[in-house]
Chains A and B, each alone.
Chain A
Amino acid sequence: MEHREVGALVRSAVDGDAAAWKAIVEGLGPLVWSVVRAHRLSDADAHEVCQTVWFRFAQHLGRIREPEKAGSWLASTARHECLKVHRNARRLMLTDDPHLLDRVSEDGSPEQSLLEAEEAEARSESVRRLWQEFEELGERCRQLLRVLIASPPPSYQEVSAALDIAVGSIGPLRQRCLRRLRARLEARGAT
């Protein structure tokens, strides 16, 4: 989301405009979700972390000092909460079964019904293959790309806040990761 647009929406929400709040959630909700998924949380943890982030954002709404940076605020709050989940899991690991990481989404593919069955199958097969190669990228690349592919795409400032990496290193790292992904796809003859 555009910084200026976010800033204006936050200010309207502060003044009581529920539609502005909804627009913020729709614009930045996918970013928060991506940050949480980038940190490989289970579905249950991912849900609770997202809720916590939004509850806290609502709570702090009137005190956000730089409304145009709300996306970065949300991204870094999400990152901190994800790190806490990892810390807690490590502590509980001794007694609990290690949590199996959840596979991708629970909702399947809602788009499928809209497409011709045959075409959909071919397409979903290639989408699945792309996703699988992406999931098997090195952790650093997987994490960066998972945040970058939020929709709408986040700004580099937001990505920086989400992963605690310098804005200047995002571009080159992104290039390298996408190149690596492409190479993996080619190696599988999937292009």
Chain B
Amino acid sequence: MSDKNDTNDTNGANDGAGWDDGFDTGLLEEELRQAAAVLDPLPPALLQSAVDAYALYDLDARVAELTFDSLVDAIPVRGATDVPRMLTFSAGGVTLDVEVSAQGLMGQVLPPQPARIEVLGGPRTTAALTADDMGRFAADTTPAGPFALRLRAGDEVVTTEWLRA
């Protein structure tokens, strides 16, 4: 991406001191910015994927927020290596417990109830699952990359916060 920032004052104005020890820090920063644009630019495919993500905007869907993530909230088990990732999502009265491991994905809807569950990977669905009367569901593939679950129980639709497996 080309940038139109030929004025090196952008940051000089920010901190009120573009000149320092006889050299223009704003100029060096700008050189570095241009180097980054050449050597480490935002990949076009990624930009496109972010543009396409607008399709995920749904004002009506309820979002189940991540309330527990074993990666952050649990004390690591010493010596244990292949520990499943435990996640809990909550939206109002519905809770979703999910376990992600190399073997796949399993979980439970609480309070227990039958539900249809879609595994989303970006704007498309990658798998359709069914929760039994106990609210339990499972898939034998681990989501690759960002994923979310869309749950339909009765006339309620809940989507979990996007997360990386």
Which residues between 87 and 144 of chain B lie within 8 Å of chain A, taking CB atoms?
122
Cβ-based interface call for A5 (8 A) = no
Question: Are the CB atoms of A25 and B59 closer together than 8 Å?
Answer: no
Question: Are the CB atoms of B164 and A33 closer together than 8 Å?
Answer: no
When distances are taken between beta carbons in the complex, the residues of chain B under 8 Å from A60 are 63
When distances are taken between beta carbons in the complex, the residues of chain A under 8 Å from B61 are 59
Q: Tell me the minimal C-beta distance from A176 to chain B in angstroms.
A: 9
Question: Are the CB atoms of A105 and B40 closer together than 8 Å?
Answer: yes
Question: Are the CB atoms of A59 and B57 closer together than 8 Å?
Answer: yes
Question: Are the CB atoms of A182 and B28 closer together than 8 Å?
Answer: yes
A25 to B44, CA, bound (A): 12
Interface size class of A (residues with CB under 8 A): 35 or more
When distances are taken between beta carbons in the complex, the residues of chain A under 8 Å from B83 are 91
When distances are taken between beta carbons in the complex, the residues of chain A under 8 Å from B42 are 29-30, 33
Question: Are the CB atoms of A22 and B51 closer together than 8 Å?
Answer: yes
Cβ-based interface call for A127 (8 A) = yes
When distances are taken between beta carbons in the complex, the residues of chain B under 8 Å from A37 are 40
Which residues between 71 and 96 of chain A lie within 8 Å of chain B, taking CB atoms?
81, 84-85, 87-88, 91-92, 94-95
Residue of B nearest to A54 (CB): B50
Contact of B39 (CB < 8 Å), options: A59, A91, A128? A128
Interface centre among B25, B61, B83 (most CB of A within 10 A): B25
When distances are taken between beta carbons in the complex, the residues of chain B under 8 Å from A13 are 54, 57
Known contacts A18-B54, A131-B39, then 16 further A-B pairs from the complex at CB < 8 Å, ordered by chain A residue? A22-B51, A26-B47, A33-B42, A49-B164, A51-B53, A54-B53, A55-B148, A88-B71, A91-B81, A104-B40, A105-B39, A134-B32, A146-B36, A153-B11, A174-B11, A179-B25
* 11 contacts across the A-B interface (CB closer than 8 A): A13-B57, A14-B59, A22-B54, A52-B163, A55-B53, A58-B56, A91-B81, A110-B41, A130-B32, A149-B33, A171-B16
